[in-house]
A and B are shown apart, each in its own frame.
Chain A
């Protein structure tokens, strides 16, 4: 039997998961990474994406919108907003996309010159959000207008 480690997924509003797991796939800002027991200690920020948790009984997926992860003896993911994959519906997703679109528009207005920085970041956030939708089979309709 594979080694396990303690994993906690917490959001400000609730404690979503706390269990012994085999591996966690984390959507880091600079790329996905998988944390397994005895991973080197690190701290990374999250981008919107899918957090995949592998326990001994199966895998669980969560949609996270941002936050950060601390990997040490145990793994803690502090997500700004986290929703179990099964609970994610079109309405919730639409709201998230809408938020990303608004942030993108606001950033664009604030900096009309298309220089790297806030605008790109917001665009990336939006893209990530759209990618999440594609992955879980929801329609990112609101986001299509802006490309």
Chain B
């Protein structure tokens, strides 16, 4: 049976924990709004870009001279997985679910006899994958100093990947990130970026417009494809940032609620034992008086 003082201490420590989680939740909520705005801002660009690139790829894709970024190297023996996670923890299952997705993918690839290489973005994923797949790491991108994700960050990651592709270090690149659906639901997603894949062009009338190209169609495509990789990574980074904050927000909300419940329970226990102490004292006094 803990003493009254112990209980009091525990209550006050849980109270301060609750204060902290509450503050973290509010910070996450504010950051989430900003991350969502950023994702919103980038959407017009990404959509147009993909529509354009998709149309272009469809018209050039069949030819033998199509850029390698589009047609691939013709093999899929060496796979590069770009695992994007957060730099910080305390965000529920956010990091683990991405890592889990990547793990399953790695195992499938390994079972199929492919070579797997891993590029990690974000410290948390690296830590989780290190134990089992540490020998597969080929690089790491640290974003812990980055406050607000900019296009330049995505470009740097894309450059890193493209250089590796040019050096023929891998055949297929897939990025792993978490798609933001709502505050309570983030979906870990795998997306292949090299060779580029596009959603089937929808049959709208605009797609059939014949464009003039300046410079030539293929030159433009060669120029656009590397940008396409950067754009995809950028939108993945933004989705990830929003998901992270969303996950953190709901995790901290839960923590705050749990702390509240714990405080209630401890307070009841405290009051009970206080009463017990009083009753004991009374009994002692009364029996002392009777003995006289």
Contacts and interface: CB of A to CB of B under 8 A. Distances in A.
Interface of A: 8, 10-15, 28-30, 40-45, 67-68, 70, 72-73, 76, 78, 80-81
A78 B45 contact: yes
A49 B265 CA distance: 67
A68 B209 contact: no
A42 B211 contact: yes
Contacts of A28: 214
Nearest to B44: A10
Given A12-B231, A13-B151, A68-B224, A41 B45 contact: no
A10 B46 CA distance: 10
Interface residues of B, number: 28
21 contacts: A12-B45, A13-B38, A13-B41, A13-B42, A14-B42, A15-B41, A15-B44, A29-B215, A41-B210, A41-B211, A43-B212, A43-B214, A44-B213, A44-B214, A68-B220, A68-B223, A68-B224, A70-B211, A72-B206, A80-B151, A81-B151
Contact of A43 (B42, B150, B220): B220
B41 A76 contact: no
Given A12-B45, A78-B49, A41 B212 contact: yes
B48 interface: yes
Nearest to B210: A41
Given A10-B45, A15-B44, A29 B214 contact: yes
A42 B46 contact: no
Contacts of B213: 42-44
B52 interface: yes
